[in-house]
Amino acid sequence: MRTTNICFAPHLSVFALTLLIIVSLVGRSTAQQHYLPDHHPHRHYLPTVSEQSSLNPKTNSPPTRPRLVLLIVVDQFRYDYLERFGDLFVAKGLGRLMREGAWWTSAAYDHMPTSTAPGHATLMTGTWPAENGIIGNEWFDRETGSSVTSVSDTAAKLLGGEEGAKAASPRRMLASTLGDELRLATQGRSKVIGISVKDRGAILTAGRGATAAYWFSAKTGQVVSSDYYFNQLPQWVTSFNNTRPADKYFGARWERLLPEAEYTRRAGPDAPSWEKTGTSKDTNTFPHIISGGASAPGPAFYDELPSSPFANDLLISFAEQAIAGELLGQDDDADVLSLSLSANDYVGHRFGPYSQEAMDITLRTDRQIAALLDYVDARVGLRNTVVAFTADHGVAPIPEHAAAVNLPGGRVKTSAMLEAVRARINARYAGGSGELQNGAPSARDYVQSFSNGQIYFNTAALMRDRINREEIERIAGEAAMTTLGIARYFTRTQLEAGRVSTTDPVARRVLHGFHPQRSGDVVIVCEPFKFFGESSATGTTHGSPYSYDTHVPLIIMGSEVKAGRYREAASPADIAPTLAALLRMQPPSNATGRVLLESLNVKSDK
């Protein structure tokens, strides 16, 4: 169903030829300045047709666009990891990107909730959830009256996993991705592939018209996909699965890469009281033995593997197989490979951003990326590749850790907050009894769901009882504010009418995360260092509009990108528009991000 058949865009090489002719007609002086940098490391100017004909086409080929776009997303990789651990990176991994790429030090997401699906969807659509429709990892679906995930699809079948397992697809995405536009422009010749441990991490960066998305089955230890893309897995994927790729990590011992003192100095002791000790299968101290508590590879082990750096090794080797198996980056129709490494997120949730585990998986990720970049260099050539590196969100310090250093860390009891909301609603609409006077169902029916920090009202019940929406939204919001740890609330009425100031960063992030058909009716924002959860909970999370969740790395490396540290404000939503400019193509449909002009080797027309 995803075969592209609505393509009107000219083939890129036809476009290039047309450009070549125009250039030869109008003379080189202005056109050359506009389209080509004269200090480009690999070429000096676009030759005119007459000049070109006198050149050996093999040694003086005309300028080419990047042949491969490689997007590397590390789930939950905070910006500060580059600064705290960067001097320990190897030369050819993240260090290479920081040295040879353009590196934004203040890149931040401009939406909330800052969770995995909205973050990933932002990257290649170049816009926020209000535009691309991916408002959370999951949300309450009013149509079916149940919770759905960003990629759940009852019509899709899983390929490569266990029988009858739930599959996924990009059908909830409302905007096109960079890959979608590329496939339109090349009549589907460009290949667009997403890879992750998480289905959403693979699917949402690729897009609706992608060639494929692949993710990891924690039940079978295999790489799986969806019949949304094809009826059977490509042979190279089956061959990869036949090697039982997960099993070789069974019983693997996760030890620190460097001496312990280095970790203690930068990340504190190994086992502070606030770390989640987790299951009986593992402790919170090094070494971690990755077996899932089982005596042989099986579901318990496959379920545990994603929480270890070895899952990233598995994904990197799969990404290399994808490059080889799909011949990515081998011709002028640029391909897109997006790789999202998920293990860092699982480790971060459990141990927090100030842990030896977070530090060690960061150092290992750097080395894994070095191996991947070497592979891409050998196979495609880094000069033919544009690499973008970022994260889908950051993470808060573990609340108990924050509290231990006198920051206002804490967990806001969801149940207590909802109880306060229901009590106020009952008091106003049902005389406090919870029963409506006319004998209709309880006013408690009015609150139907709570998802992503948003209260969803039962729209039918409100209409039935002729409840004023604006009033009940305000009553619920004010009731929520009586709970300890709530900072603010925003109502549907307020957001739909645009009655929020976009110069207020929290309000703006709420607005950018709000989609009228999909979002709730009252958005609740916790105070910094606090999030919803019961007091028995451990570990940490992300989702807030605060900098520990929004501030992420943003690096773009490519032959037309000027290396350097950029202090301009930027957002991961700027990646897709910038890549589109580098590829000289149509940006994604709803792109709101800016082209990161300061880094491009293109002179202005002035």
Rule CB under 5 A: say whether 392 interacts with Zn ion: yes
Phi/psi zone of residue 178: left (φ > 0), alpha (ψ -120 to 50 degrees), beta?
Answer: alpha
Binder among 345, 357, 445, 465 for Zn ion (CB under 5 A)? 345
The smaller minimum CB distance to Zn ion, of residues 116 and 544, is found at 116
Least Å distance, CB 120 to Zn ion, is: 8
Measure Cα distances from 27 to 133, 310, 466, 517 in Å: 46, 56, 70, 52
Closest among 471, 475, 470 to 496, alpha carbons compared: 470
Q: In sequence order, which ranges of 432-521 are alpha helices (DSSP H)?
A: 459-464, 469-481, 492-496, 505-512
The smaller minimum CB distance to Zn ion, of residues 214 and 490, is found at 214
Piece in contact with Zn ion (CB under 5 A), picked from 253-261, 361-369, 391-399, 444-452: 391-399
Half-sphere exposure of residue 507, counting CA atoms within 13 Å on the CB side? 13
Sites for Zn ion among residues 548-577 (CB under 5 A): none
Piece in contact with Zn ion (CB under 5 A), picked from 82-90, 108-116, 184-192, 215-223: 108-116
Piece in contact with Zn ion (CB under 5 A), picked from 72-80, 224-232, 515-523, 525-533: 72-80
- E-strand ranges in 403-548 read 410-412, 447-451, 454-457, 486-491, 522-526, 530-532
The smaller minimum CB distance to Zn ion, of residues 350 and 422, is found at 350
The smaller minimum CB distance to Zn ion, of residues 486 and 552, is found at 552
Extract the tokens encoding 531.
């999030």
Least Å distance, CB 346 to Zn ion, is: 8
> Rounded CA gap, 62 and 53, in Å?
11
The smaller minimum CB distance to Zn ion, of residues 180 and 392, is found at 392
Least Å distance, CB 418 to Zn ion, is: 23
Our separate counts of H helices and E strands in the chain read: 23, 21
Query: Omega of the bond prior to 577 within 30 degrees of 0, cis?
Result: no
Rule CB under 5 A: say whether 75 interacts with Zn ion: yes
Q: Which residues are catalytic, by number?
A: 116
SS3 580: helix
Residues with Cβ < 8 Å from 29, sequence gap 6 or more?
none
Piece in contact with Zn ion (CB under 5 A), picked from 86-94, 131-139, 387-395, 476-484: 387-395
Least Å distance, CB 454 to Zn ion, is: 18
> Rounded CA gap, 458 and 239, in Å?
49
> Rounded CA gap, 348 and 585, in Å?
37
Least Å distance, CB 286 to Zn ion, is: 22
What is the number of other CB atoms lying within 10 angstroms of the CB of residue 33? Answer: 16
Measure Cα distances from 465 to 321, 429, 437, 446, 521 in Å: 59, 9, 11, 10, 17
The smaller minimum CB distance to Zn ion, of residues 198 and 492, is found at 198
Least Å distance, CB 75 to Zn ion, is: 4
Least Å distance, CB 3 to Zn ion, is: 31
Least Å distance, CB 550 to Zn ion, is: 13
> Rounded CA gap, 414 and 417, in Å?
5
The smaller minimum CB distance to Zn ion, of residues 304 and 392, is found at 392
* Bridge-based pairing state of the strands 522-526 and 486-491: antiparallel
Least Å distance, CB 299 to Zn ion, is: 22
Beta bridge partners of 557: 387
Residues shown for the chain = 606
Query: Omega of the bond prior to 10 within 30 degrees of 0, cis?
Result: no
CB distance 350 to 282 below 8 Å: no
Least Å distance, CB 182 to Zn ion, is: 25
Piece in contact with Zn ion (CB under 5 A), picked from 3-11, 43-51, 69-77, 411-419: 69-77
CB distance 88 to 170 below 8 Å: no
Which position's Cβ is nearest Zn ion? Answer: 116
The smaller minimum CB distance to Zn ion, of residues 297 and 353, is found at 353
Total interface residues for Zn ion by CB under 5 A:
4
The smaller minimum CB distance to Zn ion, of residues 494 and 541, is found at 541
The smaller minimum CB distance to Zn ion, of residues 533 and 587, is found at 533
Piece in contact with Zn ion (CB under 5 A), picked from 102-110, 111-119, 562-570, 593-601: 111-119
Measure Cα distances from 45 to 405, 462, 533 in Å: 58, 66, 59
Binder among 46, 109, 110, 116 for Zn ion (CB under 5 A)? 116
Sites for Zn ion among residues 199-258 (CB under 5 A): none
Piece in contact with Zn ion (CB under 5 A), picked from 49-57, 116-124, 521-529, 569-577: 116-124
Rule CB under 5 A: say whether 304 interacts with Zn ion: no
Measure Cα distances from 199 to 155, 244, 286, 479, 560 in Å: 16, 19, 29, 37, 32
> Under the rule (CB under 5 A), what is the footprint of Zn ion?
75, 116, 345, 392
